[in-house]
Amino acid sequence: DAGVTQSPTHLIKTRGQQVTLRCSPKSGHDTVSWYQQALGQGPQFIFQYYEEEERQRGNFPDRFSGHQFPNYSSELNVNALLLGDSALYLCASSPGLGGPGVRDTQYFGPGTRLTVL
C-alpha cells in the first residue's frame, strides 16, 4: 500500500519565479493538507483541501494557492518566490470515513525541499 507521495523531491528556483508542487494521498484518503517547514522549526499549516475545495487556510499570503483533483491528488502553487520561501514543503493526507489509518491522524509524505536563490 503506497503511502503519501510527493514530487519533485528537490527544487531550486530564483526569486520571482513560480513553482508547482504535487502530492498524491495515501490510498483511501480524501483530505490533503500542506505544510511549510523552515529549518529548525516545526511545520506550519498552509491549507487543507477536501472535495476539491479549500476547507481551511493558515496564515499564508495569496501567493500560496492550491488545487485538489477528483482523484484526491493535490498541487501547491507559489508565485513570486521570495528567499524566505525556502523550506521543506510537506503534504499530509487523512482518511475519509472507513478509510485506512488511525482516525484524526494526518500521514505525511517525504516532502519537497525548495531552495530559492
Partner 1 sequence: RKEVEQDPGPFNVPEGATVAFNCTYSNSASQSFFWYRQDCRKEPKLLMSVYSSGNEDGRFTAQLNRASQYISLLIRDSKLSDSATYLCVVNPRSSNTGKLIFGQGTTLQVKP
Binding site for partner 1 (CB under 8 A): 31, 33, 35, 40-45, 48, 50, 55-56, 58, 88, 90, 92, 94-95, 102-111, 113
Least spacing, CB of residue 16 vs partner 1, in Å: 27
Shorter beta-carbon distance to partner 1: residue 67 or 96: 96
Least CB distance to partner 1 at residue 85 (A): 18
| SS3 per-residue string spanning the chain | CCCCEEECCEEEECCCCCEEEEEECCCCEEEEEEEEECCCCCCEEEEEEECCEEEEECCCCCCEEEEECCCCCEEEEECCCCHHHCEEEEEEEEECCCCCCCCCCCEECCCEEEEEC
- To the nearest whole angstrom, how small is the minimum distance from the Cβ of residue 17 to partner 1? 24
